[in-house]
Amino acid sequence: MSTLLGRPPVADIMLDDEQSAARAEFADFVDRAIVPVAGDLHRAQRTPPELIRTLADVGYLGLPVPREYGGGGCDAVTLGLLAGELGRGCSSLRSLLTVHTMVAHVLARWGTREQRNSWLPRLAAGSSIAALALSEPEVGSDAGAVRTRITPTDGGFLVDGRKRWITYGHVADVFLVVGRGPDGPTAVLVERDRAGVRTNLITDLIGIRASMTADIRFDQVRVPEANLVGRVGLGTTQVAGTALDLGRYTVAWGSVGIIEACLRASVRYVNDREQFGVLIREHQLVRRMVSDMFADYRAARLLCLDAGLRRDRRDPTALPAAALAKYRASTAAVRAATDAVQLHGANGCSDSYPVQRYLGDAKVMEIIEGSTQLHQVGLADYAFQEFAAVSMGSQP
C-alpha cells in the first residue's frame, strides 16, 4: 500500500515516467553522496573540490544546458526536481546548482555564438564553475542601483567596483558581472584569473554555510569586448532578470526540499521520543505542527510543479508563477524548520541534529532571489491584474 510521505504516486501525479525516474535517481544520489556529509560541510563552511567534481561527473551541473553544448537539455520540471532533492540534502549544494545554471541559462539565451561555444561546454562539464556577481555592499534587492562601473575602453571594458554575497564566489572560475555603464546597466563575463580580481571568503553565515560566499573586488579589470553579454543598457532587465527568474524557481524547489527534510527529521524524532509516558507524536499540539508542515510541503511542491510546467510551455504567466512558488515555499520552509526545532526541544538547538542547520538555511531562502517583502509587493500587483476584471463586474 502506498503512503502519503516518501515517494508516493499521489505526489508525483503531475510527473511523466521520465521525470519520475529522474527524481528517484536524484533522491538516491543525495541519500548516498550528500546527506551523510551535509553536517560536516556545514561545520567546515566549505565544499570540497572533489564533491563539486562528483556533481559535475554525474552531469547535474550541466543538466539544463542544451544538448548541443554537452549538457543534459532537461526540462524545467526535471531541473526543479534536482534542486528539490539537493535542497533536502544540503542547501549549499543546491545554491551551487542555482548560481551555476543561472549563468549558463543567461549565456544560452543572450550570449553570442562565440560565448556559447566557448563557455557552455565547460559549464556543462563542470570544468568551469560560474557565479552571478550582482549584489553589492549597499545594493541588494534593487538590482538597477548597482554601483560597480563598467566603462568602455579601446577594444573592451574596464570593470571597477565591489560585489558582496556572491554564492560560490570564492571558487568560481568566471563571474557574470552586472554593473553600471555610461549608457545604462551592462553585463560582462570576468574570468577569475584576470589582473585586478580579488575574492575574500565570507564565513559564519546563518545558513548555506558551505556555499563559499565571497566578497569580490574588481580593480580596473580589463575585459575584451567579446565578454559583453546581451546589449549595453539591458544588463538589468535582460541579463539579471533572466538569471533571477531561474534563480527564484530553483530556490523555491530547494525550499520544498528543506520542508521535506524537516518532515523526515520530525516524524523520526516524535516516533522515537517519549514525554509524560507517551510518544511525543500522541500530543495534540505536536500533531498540529506535523500536520501544518505536511500541508505546507504538499502545497509548496504543487506550486513549484505548476511553475515548472508553465516554464516548459513558455507560458507568459511562468514569471509570476515562479515568484509565487518562491514566496510560498520559502516562508513555509521557515515555518517548518522553526517547528522542527521546537519539536526537537533542546536537541534542536544543537548541531548534533540537522534541524538546526535547516532553520538557518530556510531563513536564507526568504532573503535570496527576492526577499519575502519584495515578493509580497509584486504578487499583489499580479493579483490586482488577474482579478481586476472579475471584481469590476461583481456585486459587493
H-assigned helices in the chain:
17-29, 35-44, 49-57, 76-89, 91-110, 113-125, 241-272, 284-312, 318-344, 355-365, 372-393
Q: Report the C-alpha gap between 336 and 322 in whole angstroms.
A: 20
Q: Is the dihedral of CA 303, 304, 307, 310 positive or negative?
A: negative
Same domain, 102 and 66: yes
Q: What is the pLDDT of residues 138-158, one digit of tens each?
A: 876 677 788 999 999 999 999
- 365, 330 contact by CB (below 8 A): yes
pLDDT of residue 144: 76
Look up the domain containing 289 and give its range.
237-389
pLDDT tens digits for 67-112?
Answer: 999 999 999 999 999 999 999 999 999 999 999 999 999 999 999 9
CATH assignment at residue 376: 1.20.140.10
Which portions of the chain are predicted below pLDDT 50? Answer: 1-10, 396
CATH number at residue 60: 1.10.540.10
> In degrees to the nearest 10, what's the CA dihedral of 318, 321, 327, 328?
-140
- Kindly state whether residues 70 and 37 are assigned to the same domain: yes
Q: Which of 129, 155, 184 is the last residue of a domain?
A: 129
Q: What is the pLDDT of residue 8?
A: 46
Shared-domain flag, residues 259 and 382: yes
In angstroms, rounded to a whole number, what is the distance separating the alpha carbons of residues 361 and 358?
5
Active site positions, annotated? 369
Domain count, the chain: 3
What the block records as the C-alpha cell of 310 is 508553465
- pLDDT tens per residue, range 228-256: 999 999 988 899 999 999 999 999 999 99
Position 277 scores a pLDDT of 74
Q: What is the CATH number of the domain that holds 200?
A: 2.40.110.10
Q: Is residue 8 part of a domain?
A: no
| Boundary of a domain, candidates 180, 215, 232 | 232
Residue 393 confidence (pLDDT)? 54
Same-domain pairing of 168 and 82: no
The SS3 of residue 164 is strand
224 and 250 in a common domain: no
Q: CB 256: neighbour CB atoms within 10 A? A: 34
> Does 119 share its domain with 25?
yes
170, 205, 232: which is the final residue of a domain?
Answer: 232
93 vs 168: CA distance, rounded Å: 10
- Residues 116 and 143 grouped into a single domain: no
CA distance 213 to 209: 8
